[in-house]
Amino acid sequence: MIRAKSFVFKILIFNMIIISMISCIFAIEVQKSDSLERILPFKKGIEKADLLFSLAEEYKSRSFNDSYSYANQCYILSSSLNYVKGQANSMYLLGVIHYLNNDYNKALYYWEKTVKYRNADMDQIGAANSLSNIGLIYMNTGEYDKSIDYFTKSLQIHTRLKNKRGMAKPIENLGVVNFKKGDYEKAIEFYQKSLKIEEELNNKLGVSQSLSSIAGVFLKMNNYNKALDYYNQSLKMKLELKDENEISITLNSIGVVYENTNNISKAIEYYHKALNYAFQSINKQNIANTLNNLGNIHISEKKYDEALNYFKKALKINQEIGSKEGIASCNFHFADIYNRKKEFQTSLNYSKVSLLIAKQMGNRDLIFKNLMIQADIYSNLKDFEKAYEAISEANFLKDSLMNETNHKQITEIETKYQTEKKKKEITFLNQQSEFNELKLKKNEKDIQFQRVILYIIFVGFILILFIALLIYKQFVEKKAVNLKLEFQNKEISNKKEELENQKNIAIQQRDQIIEQKKHITDSILYAQKIQNAILPNSKCITNYFFNNFVIFKPKDIVSGDFYWFSNVANDENKVIIAAIDCTGHGVPGAFMSIVAYNLLKQAINEQKLTKPSEILNSLTLNLNSTLQLSDNNYVVMDSMDISLCFIDKLNLNLQYAGAHNPVYIIRKGELIELKADAHSIGEIFTSDFTGFVNKEIELEINDSIYLFSDGYVDQFGGPNRKKFLSRQFKKMLIDIQNHPMPKQKEIIESRFYKWKGSIDQYDDIMIIGLEILQKKEHMPEKTLLRYKGKYHFETIEKLINQAKDIINEIDIKNVIKKKIINVLIECLENIHKYAIIDNENADILPQIFLIQSDERFYIKTKNLIAIEQTDILSNHINIVNSLDKDGLKKMYEEIIDNGNISEKGGAGLGFIDMAIKSGNQLFYNFADHNNKTVFFELTVVVNNITI
Amino acid sequence: MENLIIKATDITPEIYFNIADRTFNISGESRPENVKDFFEPIHIWIDNYFNNLEGKENQIFTIKLAYFNSSSAKFLLSLLKNLGKFYQSGIKIEVNWCYEKDDDDMKEAGEQMSEMAKLPFKFIEKDEF
C-alpha cells in the first residue's frame, strides 16, 4: 500500500505539470483596468460593444456572473449593430468562462458558434483558435479522437496561413492528447514538432517547456535516461531564463526521475533545490508540491519525523493559498505517519479531518484512502465494528473508482493494440505479396495449405466448445456464491443507511459553515464602512492641496494601510499627512490600523504634537503600552511602517520622520528621497536606537510630494514575475511629472494592472501625491460678521438680514451669496434647535462668525451641547464627509422621504444640506467645558469659485 | 370652496391658490419656526380641492422659492407627492418650478423633488427673483 500511494502521488504531480502546461496553452489575455467601467456610460455603438467585451475579459477569471453579464450585453448590442466581430468575441468569451467553470457542454455550444461567427467575419485565425479550444473540451471529456480531429483542423488552417505562432498551440495539444491516449511515440513526435516551431519562433520558454513535455513522456515510458537527458536540457534553458517558477518545476520532475530509479539521495537533493527555487518564485503551489514530494520520500525511507516536518510546512502553505485538496492531503499524510508510528488515536483524528474535507470536495480518491486507513486504525484499536463500517464504505467507493481506472487502462491498451495492429498490417501486406509469388510457383502446396487451414478451423471449433463448457461451469458455481452474497448485501445495505444518516449530518454541518461564512463576510463589509469613516475624505485634502491624488486599494475588503490628514491648529497653511502600513492585511491588518489611528489621533489631536519625530516616538511608546510589549510574553509581531510629514505651505517647509517608508519629493525632474529610519513602530527602543530622526527640507513651488506604503513596489508581475521595485517606481514618478495629479493617478493605476497581469494583488496599496502650488496674493482674513449674545428664534432673522446686507456689498456672484446665506441659515437653525442656551450665562452664549479670505468664506459657529450628543454628532458628520455629491443627495432623499423627522426637522438633514450647498467637507471640533456639556465648533467653507 | 391666500413673511412664502383661474402659486422663502403648523393647512386644502374636483382643465402650480430650509423640504415633498398621486390618477397637473438664473442648487432640488414625487416639472429660469 505504501508504494501504491506514492505511485499515485507521482502521477498526481505529473498531472499537475500537464495541467499547468494546458493553462499556458490556453490563451490568457492581459487584464485591463477597472477604469473601463467608469467610461462605459460614455461609449456608444461598436466602441461600447468592444468595451463590454474588454470588461467581460477582465472579469473572466474573477467573477463568472460579471463576466457573463458583460459578454451577454456585448452579444445583444453587437447583434443589433450587425457587428459580427463583436458577436464572435462574446461567444468566445462565454465559452471561456463556461470552460473555466468546467461546464463543457455549454462551452462547446458557445465555441461552435464562435467558429461560425469568425468564419462569417473572415477571421480564419480566430476560427482556427476556436477549433483548437473545442479540441481541448473533447480532450477533457476523454473523447480523444474527436479532440485530435479538431486540433488537426486548427493546425491545417494555421499551416495554410503560414501562421507559426498559431500552429504551436494545436501541435502541443496534439502531443498532450496523444500522451493521454497512451500513444507515447506520437506524443513525442508532436512535442518534437512543437519544439522545432518554438525554436524557430525563438521562444525560449516554449522550447524549455516542450523539452520538459518530451521528458515527461519518457518518464512515463520508464525510459529514465532519456527523461533525465531532456529534463536537463530544459533545466539549462530555464536557468538561462532565470524563471524560478519553471526551474523549480523541472527540478522537481528530475527528483521524481531519481526517486523512480531508487536514487533516493539524489532525489532528495533535487527536491531541496526545487524547494529553494520555489521559495524564490511566488508560486506557493509549487512550494507545497515540493514539500509534499519531500514528505513522501521520507515516509518511504521510514524517516517519519522528518516527513512530518515537511508535511507540516506544506500544510501551512496550503492553508495560506486555501487549497482544500492540499490541506486534506496533508492531513491524510499525518494520519498515515502516526498510524505507522502506532499513535492510533492521533492518526484517527487527522484522518477524520482529512475525510471531512475530502467529502466536502467530493475527492473520491482521498475519501477512499482515508476510509482504508481508518479501517486499519480501528482494527489496530480493536474496534472491529467501526473497522467494518469503514471498509464497507470504502468497498462501495472502490467499484466506481475501479471503473474509472479501468476505463483509462482500456483506452491505453486499445491505443497500443491499434498501433501494433497497424504495424502488423504492414508486415502482413508485405508477406502477402511474397506469398502471391509463392502461390504461382507452388500450386500443390496451396492445396496442402488449405487443408492445414481446415484443420486449424476444426481444432479452433473444438477449443471454443471446450471454453464454453468451462464458462457454463463457472456460471453455475457463481450462482451459488451470489446467493451467499445477496445475504451479505442486505447486511451491508443496513450499514449503508447508517452511513447515509451520517452524510446528512455532514451536509447539515456544511450548510452551517456556509451560513457562518456569510455572517463573517457581512461583518467584514460592515468593518469596511467603519474603516472608511476613519479615512480622511479626498475633498479634505483638496482644500489644502488643490492638485492631489490618493490611491487606496486594499488587497481584501478591509485594509492594513490607511492615511492621515489633518491641519494644525486651524491654520490652513500647516498640515500633517501620513501614510501608514500596518503588518498584515485583511482583518488583522484592519484591527491594527484602528489601533494605529487612535494612537495617531492621541499624539496629534490630544498631545498636540507637530514635530514628526516626536509623533513617531509617541506612537512607539503608546503602541508598546497598548499591546503590552514590555511584557516579555508578547513577541514583536504587530508593528507598522509609516512616513509622516509636517508641511508648512506658507513658509515652504517640510519636516519628515519615517519608519521604513521614505518620502519622495520631485523637483524639476530630480527625485529627492528623504530616507526613513530602519526601525518599525512597535519595535522597542534600544541603546542603538533611541528615537526617530527628524528631517527638514525647504520646499519650492511646483514640488511634487509622494507618500506611500510598500504594496506597489512589492507587487509581483511583469514578464518574469518579479517585484516592481523602487527603482522602477521612482522612474515612473519622474516620467509622469508633466501630468496633473489626477492623470498621474490614472497612469500609476493602469501601470499597476499591466504589471500584475493575472497575478493576484499582493498587499494593500496606498499612494498619495501632492503638489505645492504658487500661492495667490494673500488677502488677510476679514471678519464680515461676528455675533456672541443672547439667542432666540428672532436672532436668526436679525443675523440673516445683517448678513444679506453685508454680502450684497461684496462683488461676488449671486450664486455664492445664496450658498453663504443658505449655509448660515442651516447653522443658525441648528443652534436654535439643538444648542444648550442659557441667555443669563454670558460665558456659554453661542458665537457666530462669517469670515472672508481671498478665495473662500468661512461660516463658523460655537455653541454648547450635551456631552451625550458628541458621539451621534461626530458619527453623523463623519458619514456626511465620507459621501460624494450623489451619495449626499441619496441620503438627503432618504431622510426627507422616510426619515423620522420631528417637528423641528432634524435627523441631521441640516448637515447634509450644508455639505451639498458648500461642496466641501464640514470641519468640527469639541472643546471641553464641564462634565455634562461641551462646546461644539463647526466650520463650513464656501469656495468663492463656481465650477 | 374658498381660495387659499396667505401673505408672505420673511420666513414663510406667499400662498396664492385661486380656484377660478386654477392657478396655485407658492413663492418667497420658506423657513418657518414651526414648519408643520405652516404646511399642514395647505396640505388639507389641496386634498379637499382635488377630491372634489369635477372639471378636466389644467391645474397650474407655480413654485418660485428663493430659499427653503431643510426642514421645509420634507413638508414640501409630502405636498408634491400628494399632487403626484392626483396626477397619476389622471388629473391634469402642470408644475412650473422657477429658479433664479445660475442657481443650480435650486434647480437640482426641483429635479430631485420631481423625481421623488413622480410628477413632471417644467423648469423655468428667471433673471429676477
Q: Quick: pLDDT tens for A457-494.
A: 888 888 888 888 888 888 888 887 787 778 778 877 88
**Test mutation, B11, B71, B102, B104, chain A, max A CBs within 10 A:** B71
Q: Quick: pLDDT tens for A114-132.
A: 999 998 888 889 999 999 9
What chain B residue is nearest to A910 in terms of C-alpha separation?
A: B70
Q: Taking CB atoms and an 8 Å cutoff, what residues of chain A touch B11?
A: 797
Nearest to A744 by CA among A753, A757, A756, A735: A735
| DSSP labels, A448-488 | HHHHHHHHHHHHHHHHHHHHHHHHHHHHHHHHHHHHHHHHH
What are the angstrom distances between the C-alpha of A8 and each of A154, A187, A218, A365, B110?
34, 22, 18, 10, 73
Q: For chain B, how many residues are written? A: 129
3-state secondary structure of A402: helix
What chain B residue is nearest to A908 in terms of C-alpha separation?
A: B70
Which pLDDT score, from 0 to 100, does residue A534 have? 73
Which pLDDT score, from 0 to 100, does residue A15 have? 40
Parent domain of B116? 4-126
- The alpha carbon of residue A539 is apart from the nearest alpha carbon of chain B, in Å, by 19
Q: Quick: pLDDT tens for A782-817.
A: 889 999 989 998 899 999 999 999 999 888 888 899
Q: Quick: pLDDT tens for A686-716.
A: 777 888 999 999 999 889 999 999 899 999 8
Amino acid letter for position A649:
K
Query: Hey, are the CB atoms on B71 and A904 less than 8 Å from each other?
Result: yes
Give me Rg for the CA atoms of chain A: 38
For the ranges A381-395, A629-643, A846-860, which has the lowest average pLDDT? A629-643
Measured between alpha carbons, how far is A870 from A676 in angstroms, rounded to an integer? 38
Query: Hey, are the CB atoms on B10 and A897 less than 8 Å from each other?
Result: no
Query: Hey, are the CB atoms on A903 and B112 less than 8 Å from each other?
Result: no
Pairing of strands A716-717, A722-723: antiparallel
For the ranges A198-202, A255-259, A493-497, which has the lowest average pLDDT? A493-497
Number of H helices, E strands in chain A: 31, 17
Percent of chain A at pLDDT > 90 equals 28
Cβ(A13)–Cβ(A115) below 8 Å: no
3-state secondary structure of B64: strand
Phi, psi of A809 (to 5 degrees): -80, -20
What's the burial of B40, exposed, middle or buried (CB within 10 Å: 0-12/13-18/19+)?
middle
DSSP 8-state class, residue A668: T
Q: Name the most confidently modeled range: A54-58, A217-221, A846-850.
A: A846-850
ipTM score assigned to the predicted complex: 0.89
Cβ(A779)–Cβ(A854) below 8 Å: yes
β-partners of residue B95 are: B61, B121
Phi, psi of A937 (to 5 degrees): -110, 130
Name the grid cell of A898.
Answer: 422616510
Cβ(A766)–Cβ(A551) below 8 Å: yes
* Beta-carbon count within 10 A of B108 CB: 14
Which pLDDT score, from 0 to 100, does residue B53 have? 86
Query: Hey, are the CB atoms on B74 and A901 less than 8 Å from each other?
Result: yes
Mean local confidence (pLDDT), A708-731 = 90
Which pLDDT score, from 0 to 100, does residue A421 have? 63
A-B contacts at Cβ under 8 angstroms: 68
DSSP H stretches of helix in A899-947: 909-918
Residue A230 above 90 pLDDT? yes
Measured between alpha carbons, how far is A6 from A302 in angstroms, rounded to an integer? 13
Name the grid cell of A382.
Answer: 480493536
Which pLDDT score, from 0 to 100, does residue A439 have? 63
Which pLDDT score, from 0 to 100, does residue A417 have? 59
Query: Hey, are the CB atoms on A797 and B104 less than 8 Å from each other?
Result: no
3-state secondary structure of B63: strand
Query: Hey, are the CB atoms on B70 and A905 less than 8 Å from each other?
Result: yes
Q: How confident is the model at residue A26 (pLDDT cuts 50, 70, 90)?
A: very low
Q: To 5 degrees, how large is the angle CA A857–CA A858–CA A862?
A: 160
* Residue appearing with cell numbers 511634487: A704
Which pLDDT score, from 0 to 100, does residue A472 have? 85
* Residue appearing with cell numbers 413654485: B63
The CATH classification number of A535-771 equals 3.60.40.10
Q: Which CATH architecture has domain A782-943?
A: 2-Layer Sandwich (3.30)
Q: Quick: pLDDT tens for A606-635.
A: 888 999 999 999 888 888 777 654 445 444
Query: Hey, are the CB atoms on B105 and A819 less than 8 Å from each other?
Result: yes
Cβ(A671)–Cβ(A636) below 8 Å: no
Percent of chain B at pLDDT > 70 equals 100
Which pLDDT score, from 0 to 100, does residue A152 have? 93
Q: Is residue A324 within a helix (H) or strand (E), and if so which, with residue range?
A: helix A324-340
The domain tally of chain B equals 1
Residue A25 above 50 pLDDT? no
Query: Hey, are the CB atoms on A896 and B100 less than 8 Å from each other?
Result: no
Residue A20 above 90 pLDDT? no
Mean local confidence (pLDDT), A543-572 = 84
What chain A residue is nearest to B113 in terms of C-alpha separation?
A: A893
CATH number of the structural domain spanning residue B102? 3.30.750
CATH 3.20.20.60 describes domain A283-352+361-380: no
Which pLDDT score, from 0 to 100, does residue A734 have? 93
Mean local confidence (pLDDT), A537-543 = 71
Measured between alpha carbons, how far is A402 from A408 in angstroms, rounded to an integer? 10
Query: Hey, are the CB atoms on A913 and B100 less than 8 Å from each other?
Result: no
Query: Hey, are the CB atoms on B67 and A814 less than 8 Å from each other?
Result: no
Residue A643 above 90 pLDDT? yes
Residue A947 above 50 pLDDT? no
Average pLDDT over chain B, rounded to an integer: 92
Q: How confident is the model at residue A904 (pLDDT cuts 50, 70, 90)?
A: very low
Q: Taking CB atoms and an 8 Å cutoff, what residues of chain B touch A905?
A: 35, 69-71, 74
Residue A158 above 70 pLDDT? yes
Query: Hey, are the CB atoms on A903 and B70 less than 8 Å from each other?
Result: no
* Beta-carbon count within 10 A of A187 CB: 24
SS (H, E, C) B70-86: HHHHHHHHHHHHHHHHH
Cβ(A680)–Cβ(A692) below 8 Å: no
Percent of chain A at pLDDT > 70 equals 88
Query: Hey, are the CB atoms on B74 and A818 less than 8 Å from each other?
Result: no
Residue A903 above 70 pLDDT? no
Report the predicted TM-score, pTM, of the whole model to 2 decimal places: 0.39
Which residues of chain B are at the A interface, by a Cβ-Cβ cutoff of 8 Å? 10-11, 31, 33-36, 67, 69-71, 73-74, 77, 100-105, 108, 112, 116
Helix then strand then coil, in percent of chain B rounded to 5, is 40, 30, 30
Contacts of A342 (CB under 8 A, 6+ apart): A380
Query: Hey, are the CB atoms on A793 and B33 less than 8 Å from each other?
Result: yes
3-state secondary structure of A646: strand
Q: Which of B35, B77, B105 sits opposite A917 (nearest CB)?
A: B105
Which residues of chain A are at the B interface, by a Cβ-Cβ cutoff of 8 Å? 793, 797, 801, 813-815, 818-819, 821-822, 825-826, 829, 889, 892-893, 895-897, 899, 901, 903-906, 909-910, 912-913, 916-917, 946
Query: Hey, are the CB atoms on A903 and B36 less than 8 Å from each other?
Result: yes
Angle between helix axes A324-340 and A364-380 (nearest 10 degrees) is 20
Residue A62 above 80 pLDDT? no
Cβ(B91)–Cβ(B125) below 8 Å: no
Angle between helix axes B104-117 and B70-88 (nearest 10 degrees) is 40
Which pLDDT score, from 0 to 100, does residue A659 have? 92
Which pLDDT score, from 0 to 100, does residue A88 have? 92
Pairing of strands A571-582, A561-568: antiparallel
* Beta-carbon count within 10 A of A124 CB: 16
Query: Hey, are the CB atoms on B77 and A897 less than 8 Å from each other?
Result: yes
| DSSP labels, A511-547 | HHHHHHHHHHHHHHHHHHHHHHHHSPPHHHHHHH-SS
**Test mutation, A818, A826, A914, chain B, max B CBs within 10 A:** A818
Q: Taking CB atoms and an 8 Å cutoff, what residues of chain A touch B112?
A: 889, 892-893
**Test mutation, B30, B38, B69, B70, chain A, max A CBs within 10 A:** B70
Q: Which of A815, A889, A899 sits opposite B102 (nearest CB)?
A: A815
Residue A33 above 50 pLDDT? no
Phi, psi of A542 (to 5 degrees): -60, -30
Measured between alpha carbons, how far is A295 from A292 in angstroms, rounded to an integer? 5
Q: Which of A819, A829, A889 sits opposite B112 (nearest CB)?
A: A889
What are the angstrom distances between the C-alpha of A928 and each of A788, A845, A864, A867, A932?
19, 15, 10, 9, 10
Query: Hey, are the CB atoms on B71 and A901 less than 8 Å from each other?
Result: yes
Query: Hey, are the CB atoms on B104 and A916 less than 8 Å from each other?
Result: no
Q: Taking CB atoms and an 8 Å cutoff, what residues of chain A touch B118?
A: none
Residue B123 above 90 pLDDT? yes
Measured between alpha carbons, how far is A16 from A39 in angstroms, rounded to an integer? 40
What chain A residue is nearest to B33 in terms of C-alpha separation?
A: A793
Q: How confident is the model at residue A211 (pLDDT cuts 50, 70, 90)?
A: very high
**Test mutation, A815, A821, A885, A896, chain B, max B CBs within 10 A:** A896
Measured between alpha carbons, how far is A134 from A137 in angstroms, rounded to an integer? 5
Angle between helix axes A84-100 and A45-59 (nearest 10 degrees) is 10
Query: Hey, are the CB atoms on B69 and A815 less than 8 Å from each other?
Result: no
Cβ(A140)–Cβ(A104) below 8 Å: yes
Amino acid letter for position A100:
L
- The alpha carbon of residue A877 is apart from the nearest alpha carbon of chain B, in Å, by 16
Query: Hey, are the CB atoms on A901 and B116 less than 8 Å from each other?
Result: no
Q: Taking CB atoms and an 8 Å cutoff, what residues of chain A touch B104?
A: 815
B6 or A324: whose pLDDT is higher?
B6
Q: Which of A797, A821, A917 sits opposite B11 (nearest CB)?
A: A797
Nearest to A575 by CA among A542, A602, A597: A542
Mean local confidence (pLDDT), A33-52 = 78
What is the arrangement of strands in the sheet containing A663-667, beginning at the earlier edge strand? A548-553, A765-771, A704-708, A663-667, A670-674
- The alpha carbon of residue B78 is apart from the nearest alpha carbon of chain A, in Å, by 8
Q: Quick: pLDDT tens for A828-864.
A: 999 988 899 888 888 889 999 999 987 789 999 999 9
* Beta-carbon count within 10 A of A647 CB: 23
Which pLDDT score, from 0 to 100, does residue A24 have? 36
- The alpha carbon of residue A879 is apart from the nearest alpha carbon of chain B, in Å, by 18
Which pLDDT score, from 0 to 100, does residue A697 have? 94
Q: Which of B35, B71, B102 sits opposite A814 (nearest CB)?
A: B102
Average pLDDT over chain A, rounded to an integer: 83
Residue B125 above 80 pLDDT? yes
Q: Which of A826, A889, A893 sits opposite B69 (nearest CB)?
A: A826
Q: Name the most confidently modeled range: A30-39, A432-441, A755-764, B89-98.
A: B89-98
